Chain A
Amino acid sequence: AQSVTQLGSHVSVSEGALVLLRCNYSSSVPPYLFWYVQYPNQGLQLLLKYTSAATLVKGINGFEAEFKKSETSFHLTKPSAHMSDAAEYFCAVRKGSGNTGKLIFGQGTTLQVKP
């Protein structure tokens, strides 16, 4: 069964520092993986997705993630944090195919950016 685990419910970095948000997946089939961001009191916005093409995926706002099958990981990174990156980040895996496909979300990681 497909699932994702986000390591660390809360990550704090200084402005300008590297951002690393961890996500490990479990899937019996090649997974479709996603990172979403939720700013305070807003809906979820897609940051990036992995769909079995390139293993290094670039997303919006300078974020990228690398799919590593050997480590069953899909960690999200950004070289230099900005104050506006403070938000809740969700990793998700698609479960099922066709019209029965659905997203299974991780527990979320709160990113705090300190000045």
Chain B
Amino acid sequence: DTAVSQTPKYLVTQMGNDKSIKCEQNLGHDTMYWYKQDSKKFLKIMFSYNNKELIINETVPNRFSPKSPDKAHLNLHINSLELGDSAVYFCASSPRSGRGSTDTQYFGPGTRLTVL
């Protein structure tokens, strides 16, 4: 009965490789997000999607490409991985934003990406 799940939990790869992280939510939420947490634990939003439509793109290099096949899934594909991409990536979801919404975001367990 996991609410927001991510796979894989750990990902170790070489520079220059392409990798994907998958996220699924079974909460029926319309909006999903990707956050990056760096080595100093600072959290920053990368993208958000609402019902499969890209809403927020926070000056992230275009090597990062989110894809939302349906509103329950938001995957993150990263091309040509660099050392600086090493971080923990969190997926989150929230109910439809709008009047009366309190925008609580529910987070997945995170994917620790290590680029060697």
Contacts and interface: CB of A to CB of B under 8 A. Distances in A.
Interface of A: 32, 34, 36, 38, 41-46, 49, 51, 88, 90, 94, 97-105, 107-108
**Which 4 A/B pairs are nearest by Cβ-Cβ distance?**
A43-B107, A44-B107, A105-B43, A43-B109
14 contacts: A32-B102, A32-B103, A34-B104, A42-B109, A44-B90, A88-B41, A90-B43, A97-B97, A99-B50, A99-B98, A103-B45, A103-B103, A103-B105, A105-B44
Contact of A107 (B42, B103, B106): B42
Contacts, number: 60
Given A42-B109, A102-B33, A49 B43 contact: no
Contacts of B42: 105, 107-108
B98 A98 contact: yes
Interface residues of B, number: 27
Contacts of B43: 44, 90, 105, 108
B55 A99 contact: yes
B69 to A, nearest CB: 19
